[in-house]
Amino acid sequence: MRRRLPYLTPASLIFALILLLGLGFAFWKTGGPGINPGTLSAKSLPGVTIQGVSSHADIEKNCLNCHKPPVFSQARLCLDGHTDIAQQVAAHEGFHGSLASNNNCAACYPEHRGRDFDPTTFALAGFKHSQTRFTLSPTPTGAAT
């Protein structure tokens, strides 16, 4: 008597499960270069380096600089690298310190959009001055500016 589906034996199913778990673990530990969403921005301010890095493209080959499984708070990892912003947030000062939520850096600064993408310009496009302590109001006509 021959089986209809000889590849669906208990041994083959166990092998497939072990293989999938092994691949999943490998992607999890390495940052998953096979699932990389794209190249990082190379935009930077001239002469400005943070922890020896002038742009995110400089550290692109090591995904674990910014993605550290099983840490699920990407914002925490961003603040680990951007210590000046972390200080603002901790002291509730500056723009970032005045935000109601500092949990989603990628909403304003998506990085995996290519070398020419400028995350700061992107963030400023959605900037709401009302979120700062300095709201804009029109200057009355004839007033000194």
pLDDT digits (tens, 9 = 90+) for 96-138: 888 877 778 888 888 888 889 888 888 888 777 776 666 666 6
How high is the pLDDT of residue 136? 65
Look up residue 5 and give its two tokens: 């589906």
Residue 40 has pLDDT above 80, yes or no: yes
67 closest CA partner among 102, 27, 10, 98: 27
Domain assignment present for 48: yes
Residue type, 112: H
Residues 6+ apart with CB under 8 A from 70: 28
| Residue 117 belongs to a domain | yes
10 inside domain: no
| Token pair 């020896």: residue | 52
Q: Which domain holds residue 90?
A: 39-130
In a domain, 121, yes or no: yes
Residue 87 covered by a domain: yes
Task: Domain count for the chain, please give it.
Answer: 1
pLDDT digits (tens, 9 = 90+) for 56-105: 888 888 877 787 776 667 788 888 888 888 999 999 888 888 887 777 88
For residue 17, the model assigns a pLDDT of 93
4 within a domain of the structure (yes/no): no
Quote the pLDDT of residue 16.
92
Region of 48 please: left (phi>0), alpha (psi -120 to 50) or beta.
Answer: beta
> Residue 143 above 70 pLDDT?
no
Angle, vertex CA 72, rays to CA 114 and CA 43, nearest 5: 20
95 lies in some domain: yes
DSSP designation for 53: B
Q: Specify if 99 maps to a domain.
A: yes
Place of tokens 């589906």: 5
